[in-house]
Amino acid sequence: MKVLLIDDHTLFRTGIGALLQGHDIQLAAAVGTGEDGIQLAAELGPDIVLLDLRMPEMDGLRVLVELKKQHPDLPVVMLTTSEDEHDLLAALKSGAQGYLLKDMEPEELVSSLTRALQGEVVVAPSMTPLLARVAQGEILRNHQRDDLQSLLTPREYEILSHLAEGQSNKVIGKELSISDGTVKLHVKSILRKLDIHSRVEAAVIAVERGITRHQ
């Protein structure tokens, strides 16, 4: 995986660069302006872009729109401190493959990049319930009449309630006393049975259907 990092904070670029390289991920370049990022995306052909939201002169959303215009198939993941729902929705509507927060665990960042590269929309766990509350459309209409308790196994239904809270596989596994790998297999089965493609969509369905751990 070859990553292009666009962020105006020098120390953050240095830290993220070291983190990625420590996980055997190639850092194609790390630049501080949107203009440089757009130019290097064309020159270097990265597999994925990590993009800050708040930047002077050309902010992350403008950079995102330009990158998607020039490279429609290039995954762009926002990495930000903003937990504002408007920023989240604006980024996803503009074509972002993900929306992650800068205070997330390093292993979760690496895992999210891998999943984004595989086509999954990745959203910071703490933002998933927010997205679920405001999401509308096909996801809900397609599952209005499903009896999810008969469709899913008891364990899958239980894990779906955890997904509604935006929990990671590691946290779910710890709470249910099962391994991360087992949780991952259950999540894959949930997505397949519901005919959806991401944990975010699963969370939307769970929240809107009132599937919580405190029913």
Average pLDDT over residues 21-40: 92
Mean pLDDT of 110-133: 82
Q: Give the pTM.
A: 0.66
Number of Cβ within a 10 Å radius of residue 181 = 10
The pLDDT score that the predictor gives to residue 130 is: 67
pLDDT band at 101 (very low <50, low <70, confident <90, very high): very high
Fold of 2-123: Rossmann fold (3.40.50)
Question: What's the CA gap between 27 and 44, in Å, rounded?
Answer: 11
What type of residue is 140? Answer: L
User: At the topology level of CATH, where does 133-208 sit?
Assistant: Arc Repressor Mutant, subunit A (1.10.10)
pLDDT band with cut points at 50, 70 and 90 for residue 140: very low
pLDDT over 90 for what percent of the chain?
47
- Domain boundaries in the chain? 2-123, 133-208
What's the average model confidence in pLDDT over 77-81? Answer: 94
Q: Would the pLDDT of 183 be above 80?
A: yes
| Residue 8: pLDDT over 50 | yes
